[in-house]
Amino acid sequence: MVEADYLQVLKGKVPSGVDVVHDYVQIRFGDSTVLTLNNQLSLNGQKCLEENRSASSLISIIGHPVEAAYIAEETFVLELPGIELTMDLREGAWSGPEALVLSLPGGETIVLN
């Protein structure tokens, strides 16, 4: 498990909204932090955003504080109480130039590519 410093800013933050835009997801937090996830996601082991599959399950993360955010075995993991949101980081899973973009208050942007 790699607890990259930049991911630690998510710990304790509470998602206030989830936007599904075409083939990626943006998780909004109350302090204007936005986490953009561009690769395939799974919520508690069930794939999200697949063709003919509803992404409505993602709203279940709203209102639950982030307990941990880390990278383990080529997977990004966001843990919330009773919820595990994961994103595949293996080479073949990438759908764009970056897998993750973390936009912080004040204009700082962190990109995982």
* Number of compact structural domains in the chain: 1
pLDDT tens for residues 3-59?
A: 567 899 999 999 999 998 877 899 999 999 999 999 989 999 988 866 545 567 888
Per-residue confidence (pLDDT) for residue 76, from 0 to 100 = 94
Q: What is the mean pLDDT of residues 73-93?
A: 92
Per-residue confidence (pLDDT) for residue 50, from 0 to 100 = 61
99: Cβ contacts below 8 Å, ≥ 6 apart: 37, 38, 39, 76, 87, 89, 93, 112, 113
Confidence class of residue 2 from pLDDT cuts 50, 70 and 90? very low
Per-residue confidence (pLDDT) for residue 24, from 0 to 100 = 87
Give the DSSP per-residue string, 19-45. EEETTEEEEEETTS-EEEE-S-EEETT
Count CB neighbours of 97 within 10 A: 8
Q: Which domain holds residue 73?
A: 5-112
